[in-house]
Amino acid sequence: MGQHGKHRSLVMRPRQFGRYALALLAALWAGGVVAQTDTPCRQALALGLDVSGSVDEGEYRLQLDGLAAALEHADVLRALLSQPDRPIQIAVYEWSGPSHQRLLQDWATITDRTVVASIANRLRGTARIKADPSTGIGAAMIYGQRLLAGRKCETRTLDISGDGPTNTGPRPQDVRYLSGFNGITINGLVIGSGDADTDLVTYYKELVIHGFGRFVEQADDFKDYEDAMARKLLRELRGIVVSDLQ
């Protein structure tokens, strides 16, 4: 189309302009109604799972299948579905070194049991892929923060599971004080106790967790991961209820 054709397409007669304006106002009004009736989200929960080189194939499955089972635990289900007018939103990703973070479950709003079952099935059906073998907790935290940045929920929580201290990339103790983490609570789920050089619970308490109500849960090993994850989820979900009552 030539330039004259372009100019003609932009000219509106008064009647056409009136119809356009009315249509625009109607669209804006409708958008306002949708915004006012949107169901509020009470918590956005991003779960980051450690798949670094210290995690073998069996431990990888125990971690993903353990999270799936923990989400379907009867008490956790009741807590997730306790306030249908203020649902929980969940996303799950895996992480290792600075170059590897993979989204396993994009944001899902937990409105009923079928949503939880869908997430659990997705986790159980996820196969491991080759990843950076190093451990970059700081980079994992940054990825989780970016996931949470767009969530308009009353609380935002980042969970980092791990079986060792960081050995590459930005340090977690530096990352957690970046401005993007304002209003985000970071909790930890440590797997094992660490080694002779590092007590892992202390490491997470001092260098990783952050924000209001922060805490560290511990799994004795990967076989205990399911139970530890269920305990952690219950503590987080019940913490919101207590906060509401206060």
Confidence (pLDDT) at 29: 32
Each residue's pLDDT tens digit, 210-240 = 999 999 999 999 999 999 999 999 999 976 5
Q: Give the integer Cα–Cα distance in Å for 216 and 205.
A: 7
Q: Contact at 8 Å (CB) between 158 and 186?
A: yes
Q: Which residue has the higher pLDDT, 243 or 163?
A: 163
Q: Which residue has the higher pLDDT, 25 or 145?
A: 145
Confidence (pLDDT) at 14: 46
At 20, the pLDDT band (50, 70, 90 cuts) reads very low
Q: What is the DSSP annotation of 10-61?
A: H---HHHHHHHHHHHHHHHHHHHHHHHHSPPEEEEEEEEEE-STTS-HHHHH
pLDDT over 90 (residue 108): yes
Each residue's pLDDT tens digit, 5-19 = 444 433 444 444 344
pTM for this prediction? 0.82
- Closest of 176, 197, 191, 180 to residue 67, by C-alpha: 191
Each residue's pLDDT tens digit, 110-145 = 999 999 999 999 999 999 999 999 999 999 999 999
How many other CB atoms are there within 10 angstroms of residue 3's CB atom?
7
Q: Give the integer Cα–Cα distance in Å for 47 and 131.
A: 18
Confidence (pLDDT) at 150: 86
Confidence (pLDDT) at 239: 64
Confidence (pLDDT) at 69: 98
Q: How far is CA 219 from CA 47, 49, 92, 174, 229, in A?
A: 16, 13, 19, 26, 8
pLDDT over 60 (residue 23): no
pLDDT over 50 (residue 173): yes
pLDDT over 70 (residue 83): yes
Confidence (pLDDT) at 30: 34
Confidence (pLDDT) at 34: 28
Q: Which residue has the higher pLDDT, 72 or 8?
A: 72
pLDDT over 70 (residue 185): yes
Confidence (pLDDT) at 32: 32
Q: Which residue has the higher pLDDT, 21 or 64?
A: 64
Mean pLDDT along residues 62-66: 98
Q: How far apart are the two ends of the chain, measured CA to CA in Å?
A: 65
- To the nearest whole number, what is the mean pLDDT of the chain? 86
At 197, the pLDDT band (50, 70, 90 cuts) reads confident
Tokens read off for 108 = 């899902």
pLDDT over 80 (residue 41): yes
